[in-house]
Amino acid sequence: MRRLDSQTDVNQFIPPAGQVDFPDDPTAQQALGQQWTVNLTGFTQQGITGDPWNATNSANNIWYFNPLTTDTKGYGYAPIQWNAFPGRLAYYYGGGGGSNSQNLKLPDVDLLALADTGRTTTGTPFANLPTITNPCTGAVTPYGPYGPRGWQDEYCEWSVQRDAKNNIVRIDFTCENPEYWNTLWMIDPKRVLALYQQILGKPQILLEDLYLLDPVSSQPVIDPSTNRPAYNPLNKWNSGPVSTATQGGAIHLTSTPNTLQTEIGLASAATVPRTVGNSNAQTLICCAQYGQPARNSDPHIGLSVNQLVAPQDPAQAANKVTLANPPGLYIQMPDFSGYKTPDNTPASEFWTIVRGTPSLTDANGVQLPGNYILHATFEVPASKGYTVSDITINGQKIQWAGQVARTFFMQITGMGLPQQSAAPVQSCVGTPGTELAQPLQLFHAAVFNAFIKTNVPNVMGMQMSLASNSTLIAPIVKQGQSNIPMVMTADTVSGSGLPSVSATQGLTVKVTGMTQATYAVPGNSYPGEVFVLQLQVSVAADAPLGLQGLWLTNAGQQKSKEPFPAALNVVAA
């Protein structure tokens, strides 16, 4: 059992599972904690702000709270769990209630093959399967999310290692969020390398394998936030569902909606009681427009959070809600009751928690519910003389990692604060009469240009760029810097002439040009067309330190009341 420190951890957002990744370097661990707290504070601000630009009933989610700035006396925990296997596969292609152009119903073995490889047992990729229909909007699209393992969209992803006979010898399951690994990289890329080598058992991994490369020159891209090479979250060792000695592996999540910032945004939006009530998960998600319908995760998470805020039992108190600290997504222990091994060794002996902890106690000595596993492997030692594929689950030999995924759940842990009054009920999310320009994401220009120009091959056969695997971590600028080339992506830009970008005291932003591009803004399942604004940012020597918001205003329109929060991070020179 891991216990959180009562002195330091109550004042910071704690790394997932209380993980200490610099055990021999307290200075680096402190820097990591500080940067992680900055990042999570920004995500929390963004979640509470919601969308005041081009949606109605979708902003000011004040029943979600920041645990670092709130008196949490009287708190309680609520585990929210869902199955790790992709629910949308069964919904659309397993006869689970979904609709598509051919009313396709695949055998279960094909669903397992799709979950593991992106192809059916006969080799048919997602790109050649029928289109699907969104049950909320009626939109018809190819199956997504795109990406090398984008279909593993329940906040759990895996890679599989097989032997020459196609037997499974090792499965890596991960639920680690990409924002944390990007934060680790900001502190010490060499530590990231060591962890890659250790976690995957691959000492052959090189530091340069993890670099973001300029697609034209093939040289490392220098990130102005750190003045070091930028990180490629889809590097060859964290890409796809197959792991070999030369590539592949699962270190952190890569499916575009599988981000912690998204999870915080979903939970924030779910704190609003709706006129449709909260007895049906799909009805609620269609009304509130958070997350992706038909997943195991999003509809259930939203309903569970909403029921904490507005309990169905009137005798229960309403609650303000947040993700318990440490915020994260966590694998739960599998149910091994249906497993059988050739020599009757308990299958649980082959399940190894590589990162995380079976249990966690908070700074007050209260045990949090559930398990706090970040990365686990299922692997039979070579000395046993058999492989994972010789183990059965409910009488069926393990041919696919998805069979194992079906035996465990994922979890987020909610924290509730009882309230004396109920949260106000709002109508469903809609479209306002006048849409405002909406900032989406801010980048240093060099990083964005490399991301957007790097093509990501995928079994969907869809055009996808590496920008879809970026994060909403605020780029860093320093006091006294001038004319910093940056890029803002935006939605609903209109009017004649360029829009303007304004900031708080001490920041000057000039829009120098505008183009368009297509990518999935982190958290989105599908890519969309966005406006790309080229900026020059200047920072006064006495500019306020910390996270700063930005306003984007169309020509001829009034400035919105709310800035896009935590757009960039000002630090001392």
pLDDT bucket at 504, cuts 50 / 70 / 90: confident
Residue 312 belongs to some domain of the structure: yes
In a domain, 522, yes or no: yes
Please give the pLDDT value at position 8.
55
**Domain ranges, residue 503:** 438-571
Q: Is 161 helix (H, G, I), strand (E, B) or coil?
A: strand
**Domain shared by 384 and 504, yes or no:** no
Identify the domain boundary among 419, 449, 468.
Answer: 419
pLDDT value of residue 557: 92
| Closest-CA residue to 36 (of 182, 156, 155, 175) | 182
The three state secondary structure string of 62-108 is: CCECCCCCCCCCCCEEEEEEEECCCHHHHHHHECCCCCECCCCECCH
CA distance 487 to 491: 13
Co-location of 262 and 351 in the same domain: yes
User: Is the pLDDT reported for residue 265 higher than 80?
Assistant: yes
Average confidence (pLDDT) over 229-236: 98
Task: Name the H helices within 143-232.
Answer: 178-187, 189-200
pLDDT at 209: 98
- Residue 384 and residue 491 in one domain: no
> Is 316 inside a domain boundary?
yes
| Cα 411 to Cα 110: distance, rounded to the nearest angstrom | 27
Residue 553: strand, helix, or coil: strand
Identify the three-state secondary structure at position 443. strand
How many other β-carbons are positioned within 10 Å of the β-carbon of residue 364? 10
Task: Kindly state whether residue 428 falls inside one of the protein's structural domains.
Answer: no
pLDDT grade, residue 102 (50/70/90)? low
Residues 166 and 292 in one domain: yes
Domains contained in the chain, number = 2
**Same-domain status, 20 and 99:** yes
Residues 166 and 266 in one domain: yes
Question: Does the residue 362 lie in any domain?
Answer: yes
192 touches 226 (CB < 8 A): no
Binning pLDDT at 50, 70 and 90, where does residue 360 land?
very high
Which of 32-41, 100-109, 397-406, 522-531 is predicted with the least confidence, judged by mean pLDDT? 100-109
**H or E element at residue 26:** helix 26-49
CATH code of the domain covering residue 505: 2.60.40.10
Domain stops at, among 419, 450, 467: 419
Structure confidence by residue, pLDDT tens digits, 417-449: 999 999 999 999 999 988 999 999 999 999 999
Please give the backbone phi and psi of residue 247, each rounded to the nearest 5 degrees, phi first: -170, 170
Strands 409-419 and 330-331, by their bridges, are antiparallel
pLDDT score recorded for residue 169? 98
pLDDT 10s digits, 364-401 = 999 999 999 999 999 999 999 999 999 999 999 999 99
* 460 and 404 in a common domain: no
pLDDT at 491 > cutoff 90: yes
In a domain, 427, yes or no: no
Task: Answer whether residue 311 is part of any domain.
Answer: yes
Residues 138 and 271 in one domain: yes
pLDDT computed for residue 438 by the predictor: 96
Q: Does one domain contain both 400 and 475?
A: no
Count Cβ neighbours within 10 Å for each residue of 534-543 and write b for 16 or more, e otherwise: bbebbbeeeb
- Predicted confidence at residue 496, as pLDDT, reads 86
Mean pLDDT, residues 291-317: 95
- % of the chain with per-residue pLDDT over 70: 98
Asked if residue 221 is part of any domain, the answer here is yes
Same domain, 454 and 414: no
- 166's CB contacts (< 8 A; 6+ apart) are 389
User: Same domain for 464 and 503?
Assistant: yes
Q: Which of 419, 453, 487 is the last residue of a domain?
A: 419
Flag whether pLDDT at 314 surpasses 90.
no
- For 115-147, the DSSP string reads HHHSB-TT--BGGGSPPEE-TTT--EE-S---S
Cα–Cα distance between 361 and 177 in angstroms, integer? 21
**Site of tokens 């697609």:** 215
Whether 138 and 247 share a structural domain: yes
pLDDT band of 4, cuts 50, 70, 90: confident
pLDDT at 103 over 70: no
CB atoms within 10 A of CB 29: 17
Which residue bears the tokens 């001829």? 556
Over range 444-470, report the average pLDDT: 96
